[in-house]
């Protein structure tokens, strides 16, 4: 796993292009992308793959996109899985009439993940929270995906509150949130980028296009507002 300090990008179109490159580079393998808050006020981007070379290449691509350096983050997965309490919510994309033209996405002049990043910045010390998008590429810029939000720490009630709040930030993007009978199992698979397209595992996944994937995971979008001169 690799972690990259998040920095803003300029537009949704740049997010689409970044996701398209990641889709292309992971062809034949699986890839998991992360948004992570670790209680230090600085959310991070993350990436992992069962194929070490795919993970390295993807980390470098993300690093170039945000002008940041990729650092090994393998300890993070162990920190999450070893926490006394873990909360997980499954995120299923809902139809919103996405089009390749990003003007129709509803992003307008604000980042649809603004609240997501804001919450990750405010994760209390000693806890970890984040979002996972794991996918396996399919033809025609499609991918079989599984998405989830998670929180890990020592206070069970607080962890459930954080994971519920984090899941709610995806409502504006268009998602159905559901609880799981075995949340740790799905979390382990997501953290290790394990995505199967067999019949038995296809149901919890959503087959969506690259531009839709980029709406759920992308570096923070710059929200500088134009100022008008006053005479």
The pLDDT assigned to 200 comes to 45
Domain boundaries, the chain: 2-216
What pTM value is reported for the model?
0.88
Give the residue from 79, 4, 74 showing the smallest Cα distance to 35. Answer: 4
CA-to-CA distance for 47 and 39, rounded, in angstroms? Answer: 19
**Structure tokens belonging to residue 39:** 């209680």
CATH assignment of 2-216? 3.40.462
Instruction: Express each pLDDT in 34-62 by its tens digit.
Output: 999 998 989 999 999 999 999 999 999 99
Give the whole-angstrom CA distance, residue 151 versus residue 155: 11
* pLDDT above 70: residue 10: yes
Tokens of 177: 């949130």
- Counted residue by residue, the chain has a size of 231
- Please state the φ and ψ torsions of residue 148, each to the nearest 5 degrees: -160, 155
As a whole number, the mean pLDDT across the chain is 85
H, E, C per residue of 48-76: ECCCHHHHHHHHHHHHHHHCCCEEECHHH
Question: Residues of the chain with pLDDT > 70: what percent?
Answer: 86
What b/e sequence results for 80-95 when a residue is b if at least 16 CB atoms lie within 10 Å of its CB, and e otherwise?
Answer: beebeebbbbbbbbee
Task: Identify the band that residue 196 occupies on the pLDDT scale cut at 50, 70 and 90.
Answer: confident
DSSP-derived letter for residue 13 is H
């Amino acid at each position: 796993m690799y972690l990259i300090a998040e920095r803003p990008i300029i537009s949704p179109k740049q997010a689409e292009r970044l996701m398209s490159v990641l889709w292309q580079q992971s062809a034949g393998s699986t890839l998991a992308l992360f948004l992570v808050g670790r209680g230090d006020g600085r959310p991070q981007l993350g990436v992992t793959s069962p194929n070490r070379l795919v993970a390295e290449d993807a980390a470098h691509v993300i690093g170039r996109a945000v002008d940041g350096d990729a650092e090994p983050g393998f300890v993070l997965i162990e920190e999450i899985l070893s926490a006394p309490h873990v909360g997980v919510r499954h995120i299923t994309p809902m139809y919103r009439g996405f089009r390749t033209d990003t003007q129709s996405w509803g992003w307008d002049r604000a980042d649809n993940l603004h609240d997501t990043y804001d919450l990750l910045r405010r994760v209390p010390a000693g806890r970890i929270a984040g979002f996972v998008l794991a996918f396996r590429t399919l033809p025609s810029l499609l991918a079989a995906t599984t998405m989830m939000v998670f929180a890990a720490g020592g206070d069970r009630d607080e962890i459930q509150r954080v994971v519920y709040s984090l899941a709610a930030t995806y409502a504006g993007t268009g998602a159905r949130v559901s609880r799981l009978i075995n949340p740790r199992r799905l979390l382990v698979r997501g953290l290790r980028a394990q995505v199967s397209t067999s019949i038995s595992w296809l149901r919890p996944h959503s087959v969506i296009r690259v531009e839709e994937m980029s709406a759920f995971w992308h570096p923070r979008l710059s929200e500088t507002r134009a100022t008008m001169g006053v005479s």
